Amino acid sequence: MGLLDPTPPNYEPLAWLKQPLGERGRMVCESWALQGYGTPPGVFLFYALKLALYVGAWVMFCGYSPSLGGPATIGSWALHPIAFQKAIAWSLLFEVLGLGCGSGPLAGRYLPPFGGFLYFLRPGTTKLPLFPGVPFVGAPTRSALDVGLYVGLVIAACRALFAPSPSAGHLLPIVGLVAALGVLDKTIFLAARAEHYWVTLVCFVATPRWIAGAQAVQLALWFWAGVSKLNHHFPTVVCVMTSNGPLTRLPWLRKRMYRDFPCDLRPSRLATVLGHVGTALELGVPLAFLLTPVGTPPVVAVVMMVALHGYITSHVPMGVPIEWNFLVVYAGFALFWAHPEVSVLSLGPLPLAAFLAVTLVALPIAGNLWPGRVSFLLAMRYYAGNWAWSIWLFRGDAHRKLARLTTSSAWVYDQLARFYDRPTAVGLVGKVMGFRMMHLHGRALPLLVPLAVDHLDEYEWLDGEIIAGLALGWNFGEGHLHQEQLLAAIQAQCGFEEGELRCIFVESQPLGRDILAYRVLDARSGQRSAGELSVSELRSRQPWEDCGP
């Protein structure tokens, strides 16, 4: 097996394509349970090298600060406030360039493996303005203004990173440009991981005593991530991650994640217990930091934090938020371990406290109660398995009309054709169907696909994540990026005829409610169906079970 050779599924991919949805789902879910995505070994090497670039560049930027030092003395300066400021500024730049989350094959990107700057620097690429149709700021395609502001953001970030000691004068332009770009294109705002990096930068700018504000951001990340898992979705995430982890390849272990492989692929008791432990740990980390007396090193909290993020990172989850997980652990040491004398309650100026109350409390509450109105990133509902998502169905060769878009990557099968033959490419892309169906929300697909198309074998199936990567330049599990607004922008440029493109849009489950809302649309004629599904009923189903609408 070569570095780029995926593990082939245990069925013939081209024959699999001809099966009805129920059989197709059963086959791909069984294959995922034992093989995961079938990731080639070279892919894990790619992510390891990218992580080395991320850390190495941070060390280099810190070298421009005389008060710090070089690699030989990193132990003495790594937790210095200036080093942390540069870590945040570099992380934001790394993400907004498209090098971090949502990059590479584990996010549906093959050639090129990155989006970001390849799209955001090109006039004419599709974007999602905050106020569609409003003059100057509401166009659906990127203008010279969009490109200019993006270039300005990159320059401003580099200016701060090369500064000996980043001041408010270095950081304020980054804060303002991220906000302005967020009005012009929601994609860039989310790609910058604004709910974390941008909010922390605001703390840097608002007060010289920013440690407490940055601590509040970190505590909110852990707390709301834990809250988001207080449902029945997360055990399926445990199953999917274990079946795909590079360190959990033992067949007996992967089978133990399911009730009765291959007949019953719902989470086993072991997977459910692991899910509950993970949720408790994620909620326990911020609680442990808060309960540590001021002035005392937070030993228990740090051990829990390393265990939590070490587990996540070792599984190399789809979407690959590897650098983000490293940054979160580093922040725990730089903010709490290095400053046990600082209380998170000493936030500083009232305007900053009010800003943090909105971004760290009000938005996450709204995002949990009304998930259709707030991005899962702004709500800090990380990797809970409870996301908005979509499926795009193209009849025949209708997907070729996407070539009318200005993009920097080709149709996904055309990307894979540079590496593999047709059966191998179908096997890889088909595994994305398995990934979607294996989650609790994906059990809705056998109910919804018949509402969208009469003859599935006439359509090319593609997950909305891959569409967002191709059309928007970034994707990271944010299903709102590939729903009605993107469909309207693509239809305006591509002109699909009735029946050529059908989409299924599904929202997250609201906290405390037992529903998943859905819409089925045709690109030309609009909405065909809408309604709600019971999550309790979905829990009783197999991922591929076809009981009719």
Nearest to 366 by CA among 379, 384, 383, 380: 379
DSSP reduced 3-state for 20? coil
Cis peptide before 123 (omega within 30 of 0): no
Residue 428 falls inside a structural domain: yes
Residue 278 falls inside a structural domain: no
326-359 burial: b if 16+ Cβ within 10 Å, else e: bbbbbbbbbbbbbbeebebeebbeeebeebbeeb
Residue 346 falls inside a structural domain: no
Nearest to 468 by CA among 183, 197, 109: 109
C-alpha–C-alpha distance, residues 200 and 481, integer Å: 24
What spatial distance separates the first Cα and last Cα of the chain, rounded to whole Å? 43
Residue 367 falls inside a structural domain: no
Residue 411 falls inside a structural domain: yes
Q: Give the pLDDT confidence of 7-51 residue by residue, as tens digits.
A: 999 999 999 999 999 999 999 999 999 999 999 999 999 999 999
Which domain range does residue 490 map to?
387-539
Please enumerate in sequence order all residues whose Cβ is within 8 A of that of 157, keeping only pairs 6 or more positions apart, or say none: 89, 90, 92, 93, 96, 174
Across the chain, how many H-helices and E-strands are there? 24, 7
Q: Quick one: tokens of 161? A: 């990173």
In this predicted structure, what is the pLDDT of residue 547?
Answer: 42
Q: Where are the beta strands (DSSP E) in 374-514?
A: 389-395, 459-463, 501-506
Contact 258, 271 (CB under 8 A): yes
Q: Quick one: tokens of 519? A: 């819409």
Q: What is the pTM of this model?
A: 0.95
| The total number of structural domains that make up the chain | 1
Residue 528 falls inside a structural domain: yes
Q: Quick one: tokens of 65? A: 């600060």
Residue 124 falls inside a structural domain: no
In this predicted structure, what is the pLDDT of residue 270?
Answer: 97
Chain-centre distance for alpha carbon 386: 12
Q: Quick one: tokens of 365? A: 């509450």
C-alpha–C-alpha distance, residues 126 and 122, integer Å: 10
DSSP reduced 3-state for 504? strand
DSSP reduced 3-state for 515? strand
CB pairs under 8 A, 24+ apart, for 162-167?
162/61, 162/64, 163/64, 163/65, 164/64, 164/65, 164/66, 164/67, 165/65, 165/67, 165/82, 166/82, 166/85, 166/86, 166/89, 166/204
Count, residues in the chain: 549
For 248, other C-beta atoms within 10 Å of its C-beta total 15
462-482 burial: b if 16+ Cβ within 10 Å, else e: bbbbbbbbbbbbbbbbbbbbb
pLDDT per residue rounded down to tens, the chain (549 residues): 567 889 999 999 999 999 999 999 999 999 999 999 999 999 999 999 999 999 999 999 999 999 998 899 999 999 999 999 999 999 999 999 999 999 999 999 999 999 999 999 999 999 999 999 999 999 999 999 999 999 999 999 999 999 999 999 999 999 999 999 999 999 999 999 999 999 999 999 999 999 999 999 999 999 999 999 999 999 999 999 999 999 999 999 999 999 999 999 999 999 999 999 999 999 999 999 999 999 999 999 999 999 999 999 999 999 899 999 999 999 999 999 999 999 999 998 999 999 999 999 999 999 999 999 999 999 999 989 999 999 999 999 999 999 999 998 899 999 999 999 999 999 999 999 999 999 999 999 999 999 999 999 999 999 999 999 999 999 999 999 999 999 999 999 999 999 999 999 999 999 999 999 999 999 999 999 999 999 999 999 999 985 443
Residue 320 falls inside a structural domain: no
Q: Where are the beta strands (DSSP E) in 33-167?
A: none
In this predicted structure, what is the pLDDT of residue 3?
Answer: 78
Q: Give the pLDDT confidence of 291-347 residue by residue, as tens digits.
A: 999 999 999 999 999 999 999 999 999 989 999 999 999 999 999 999 999 999 999
Contact 352, 206 (CB under 8 A): yes
Contact 500, 394 (CB under 8 A): yes
Contact 167, 206 (CB under 8 A): no
Q: Quick one: tokens of 394? A: 């193209």
DSSP reduced 3-state for 439? coil
In this predicted structure, what is the pLDDT of residue 4?
Answer: 84
In this predicted structure, what is the pLDDT of residue 116?
Answer: 94
Contact 193, 324 (CB under 8 A): yes
Q: Which residue has the tokens 């941070």?
A: 58
Q: Give the pLDDT confidence of 387-421 residue by residue, as tens digits.
A: 999 999 999 999 999 999 999 889 999 999 999 99
Eight-class DSSP state of 67: T
DSSP reduced 3-state for 499? coil
C-alpha–C-alpha distance, residues 48 and 30, integer Å: 29
In this predicted structure, what is the pLDDT of residue 1?
Answer: 54
